[in-house]
């Protein structure tokens, strides 16, 4: 992929950090590299205009989008950029603005959107729940019954530990290392193993679930379960089986509906949104992108000890 060369070290640093952020948000490698290339061209335009700091005037971005209308198409001589390609620039800049805001670096003063008919495969970074909305989901768990205790454990795994859906579903009881405050993720993406820290609240939620939730779900549903089947998974359904991702998605929607927040109730979210939300909250709390990438399983671990002092704030 051809990259535009820029001079401003601040711009270069932003591009690299932005790329790491998109990786954390689970963008495909080709999308990450494509977005970086688009931002490099945007920053090159700013340098040519004598702008050496992040623009705060909507007009600056408007002028860049207007510039793209007349910018020659390098692949097809004599033609300008297609509307779809210009939309990719808009999307990259908009996601860059969200990256700045999520990492506490202010943001761009975005103009009103001037690109219509954006291709359907172009997407924003995604819905991110606030810490208060996460707290409301926890409070919606009815811990007076085993299912509600299980729901709270579900939140602790997918939000508190940032697990992917497959990782959480395949997690076994033996993978919970309470003595060392770690969770052993054996089936991570690309078959990478890693250890994830259990903060105090996460540990308490999982320990309570193993004592007061999981055994009763198994016991109360023996009529649905083959006695010869040994269920090893941490999370189990009301039928005493390893749940599907769809089942947990329904439970998450149930928790949304149990809150008194109409905005939260109207959101379309899934387990991956919990993972994206913890990544964003850790960024807002000042954790480096590199450490968050390790926490989420985007890099090999060199030492599990680096995580033992990470604090998941008590909800």
Indicate which residues carry an active-site annotation.
164, 189, 272, 275, 298, 307
Q: CB neighbours of 58 closer than 8 A, spacing ≥ 6? A: 109, 110, 111, 112
Retrieve residue 296's tokens. 């989420």
Is residue 287 within 8 Å of 306, Cβ to Cβ? no
């Amino acid at each position: 992929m051809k990259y535009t060369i820029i001079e401003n070290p601040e711009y270069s640093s932003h591009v690299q950090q932005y790329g790491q952020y998109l990786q954390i948000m689970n963008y495909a490698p080709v999308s990450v590299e494509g977005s970086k290339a688009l931002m490099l061209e945007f920053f090159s335009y700013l340098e040519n205009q004598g702008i050496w700091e992040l623009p705060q005037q909507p007009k600056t971005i408007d002028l860049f989008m207007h510039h793209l209308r007349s910018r020659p198409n390098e692949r097809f001589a004599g033609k300008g950029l297609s509307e779809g390609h210009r939309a990719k620039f808009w999307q990259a800049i908009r996601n860059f603005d969200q990256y700045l805001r999520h990492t506490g670096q202010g943001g761009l003063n975005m103009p009103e959107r001037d690109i219509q008919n954006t291709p359907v495969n172009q997407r924003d970074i995604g819905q991110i729940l606030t810490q208060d909305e996460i707290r409301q989901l926890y409070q919606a768990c009815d811990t007076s019954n085993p299912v509600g205790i299980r729901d709270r454990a579900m939140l602790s795994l997918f939000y508190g530990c940032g697990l992917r859906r497959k990782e959480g579903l395949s997690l076994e009881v033996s993978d919970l290392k309470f003595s060392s405050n770690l969770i052993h993720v054996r089936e991570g993406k690309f078959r990478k193993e890693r250890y994830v820290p259990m903060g105090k609240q996460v540990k308490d939620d999982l320990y309570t679930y193993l004592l007061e939730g999981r055994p009763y779900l198994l016991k109360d549903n023996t009529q649905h379960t083959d006695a010869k089947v040994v269920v090893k998974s941490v999370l189990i359904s009301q039928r005493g089986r390893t749940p599907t991702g769809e089942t947990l998605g329904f439970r998450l929607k149930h928790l949304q509906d149990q809150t008194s927040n109409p905005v939260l109730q109207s959101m379309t979210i899934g387990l991956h949104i919990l993972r994206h939300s913890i990544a964003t909250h850790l960024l807002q709390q000042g954790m480096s992108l590199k450490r968050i990438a390790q926490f989420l399983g985007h890099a090999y671990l060199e030492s599990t000890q680096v995580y033992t002092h990470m604090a998941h704030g008590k909800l």
